[in-house]
């Protein structure tokens, strides 16, 4: 069995590769750079998709890259790195004489409007309201297969919260300040903090790649990629401090993050959404790390 993956060299992609290989699958990574076990986006555009049973897109310029100033060129890269790669894969799937049975696109919970009260499931209606939600809308739109292809290939969209794991994502950036005892709540700390352990996200992707019974729907199946525990930023901060045995007494003011990161992306940290993995649980997926204590114990321990 084999699968093709855009962004497979990244943080989530590496975890997914480990998981799929342990299940006996062969993987082809689609990358900007050629290399062993890899093909490039240009190869897919010119030569199509190699025969495979599943395709996943995880490619995208990092949103929380602290080394990049929030400006038009960065915003353009965030859009084009996601939308162009997604479009290339969707077009290659539609043109393939042997299309994969599953096509999984990983986007984000930025689709849902931050709120202290509202709980969102995959069934919640949403319309774009800011930069990041517009990005998700266009990104998911770019992945939509034409009707005749959608009858052959099951389309899945996974919307993860902050992905927590030892060797990448937000944790990598937070570990040093927290280790130094400089960690603290962000903004008010009351904002929801939707999160998922990287192993569980890889698990949901692998679960979505499994052959599905019955003809696929022409609309994508959406799964929220978040742990079922609903936590706030305050709870996350305290739990991480406890796991590291470090104090967390220095709150980071929201205005500092707005200035340092740009307010359009600082919302990821200073605001949040209460996201429930309703359909993910209904699909029979079992979380290995359903709560912060178990997730942070694995990451920090």
Min. distance of Cβ 249 from ligand NDP in angstroms? 26
Min. distance of Cβ 151 from ligand NDP in angstroms? 27
Min. distance of Cβ 121 from ligand NDP in angstroms? 18
By CB under 6 A, tell whether 58 contacts ligand NDP: yes
Please state the φ and ψ torsions of residue 121, each to the nearest 5 degrees. -115, 180
Q: Which stretch binds ligand NDP (CB under 6 A): 3-11, 114-122, 142-150, 206-214?
A: 3-11
Tokens of 39: 């093909």
**Near ligand NDP in 101-140, by CB under 6 A:** 106, 108
Binding ligand NDP (rule: CB under 6 A), the pick from 9, 86, 91, 231 is 9
Task: Give the closest residue to 3 by CA, choosing from 50, 39, 44.
Answer: 50
Please state the φ and ψ torsions of residue 255, each to the nearest 5 degrees. -65, -30
The alpha carbon of 1 is separated from its chain's Cα centroid by a whole number of angstroms, namely 24
Q: What are the residues whose beta carbons fall under 8 Å from the beta carbon of 245, sequence distance 6 or more? A: none
State the helix-helix crossing angle for 254-261 and 263-270, rounded to 10 degrees: 140
Tokens of 128: 């774009």
By CB under 6 A, tell whether 61 contacts ligand NDP: yes
Tell me whether residue 106 or residue 240 sits nearer to ligand NDP (CB atom): 106
Q: What are the residues whose beta carbons fall under 8 Å from the beta carbon of 194, sequence distance 6 or more? A: 109, 161, 162, 226, 272, 273, 274, 275
Q: Which stretch binds ligand NDP (CB under 6 A): 68-76, 168-176, 244-252, 281-289?
A: 168-176
Binding ligand NDP (rule: CB under 6 A), the pick from 3, 4, 7, 70 is 7
By CB under 6 A, tell whether 194 contacts ligand NDP: no
Min. distance of Cβ 147 from ligand NDP in angstroms? 26
Whole-angstrom distance, CA of residue 111 vs CA of residue 48: 30
Whole-angstrom distance, CA of residue 34 vs CA of residue 87: 20
By CB under 6 A, tell whether 263 contacts ligand NDP: no
Tell me whether residue 2 or residue 152 sits nearer to ligand NDP (CB atom): 2
Tokens of 127: 């319309």
Binding ligand NDP (rule: CB under 6 A), the pick from 3, 10, 216, 220 is 10
Min. distance of Cβ 14 from ligand NDP in angstroms? 8
**Near ligand NDP in 16-35, by CB under 6 A:** 31-33
Binding ligand NDP (rule: CB under 6 A), the pick from 93, 163, 226, 276 is 163
Q: Which stretch binds ligand NDP (CB under 6 A): 11-19, 96-104, 186-194, 250-258?
A: 11-19
Contact 187, 236 (CB under 8 A): no
Q: Which helix (H) or strand (E) holds 204?
A: helix 198-209
Residue 286 burial by Cβ neighbours in a 10 Å radius (0-12, 13-18, 19+): exposed
By CB under 6 A, tell whether 266 contacts ligand NDP: no
By CB under 6 A, tell whether 241 contacts ligand NDP: no
By CB under 6 A, tell whether 62 contacts ligand NDP: yes
Binding ligand NDP (rule: CB under 6 A), the pick from 3, 160, 241, 272 is 160
Task: Give the closest residue to 219 by CA, choosing from 142, 137, 146, 127.
Answer: 146
| Residue ranges in contact with ligand NDP by CB under 6 A | 7, 9-13, 31-33, 58-62, 77, 81-82, 85, 106, 108, 160, 162-163, 168-170
């Amino acid at each position: 069995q084999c699968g093709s993956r855009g962004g497979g060299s990244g943080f989530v992609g590496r975890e997914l590769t480990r998981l799929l290989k342990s299940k006996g699958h062969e993987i082809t990574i689609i990358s900007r750079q050629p290399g062993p076990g890899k093909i490039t986006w240009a190869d897919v555009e010119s030569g199509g998709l190699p025969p495979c049973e599943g395709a996943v897109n995880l490619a995208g310029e990092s949103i929380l890259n602290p080394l990049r100033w929030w400006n038009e060129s960065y915003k353009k890269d965030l859009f084009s790195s996601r939308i162009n790669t997604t479009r290339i894969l969707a077009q290659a799937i539609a043109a393939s004489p042997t299309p994969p049975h599953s096509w999984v696109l990983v986007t984000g919970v930025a689709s849902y409007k931050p709120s202290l009260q509202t709980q969102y499931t995959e069934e919640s209606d949403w319309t774009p309201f800011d930069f990041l939600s517009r990005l998700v809308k266009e990104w998911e739109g770019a992945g939509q297969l034409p009707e005749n292809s959608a009858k052959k290939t099951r389309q899945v969209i996974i919307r993860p919260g902050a992905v927590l794991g030892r060797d990448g994502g937000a944790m990598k950036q937070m570990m040093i300040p927290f280790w130094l005892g400089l960690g603290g709540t962000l903004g008010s700390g009351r904002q929801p903090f939707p999160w998922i352990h990287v192993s569980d996200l890889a698990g949901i992707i692998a679960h979505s790649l499994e052959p599905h019974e019955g003809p696929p729907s022409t609309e994508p199946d959406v799964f929220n990629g978040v742990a079922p525990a609903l936590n706030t930023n305050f709870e996350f901060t305290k739990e991480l401090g406890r796991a590291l045995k470090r104090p967390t007494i220095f709150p980071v003011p929201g205005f500092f993050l707005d200035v340092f990161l740009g307010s359009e992306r600082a919302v990821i940290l200073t605001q949040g959404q209460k996201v429930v993995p309703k359909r993910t649980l209904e699909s029979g997926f079992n979380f290995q790390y359903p709560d912060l204590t178990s997730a942070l114990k694995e990451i920090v321990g």
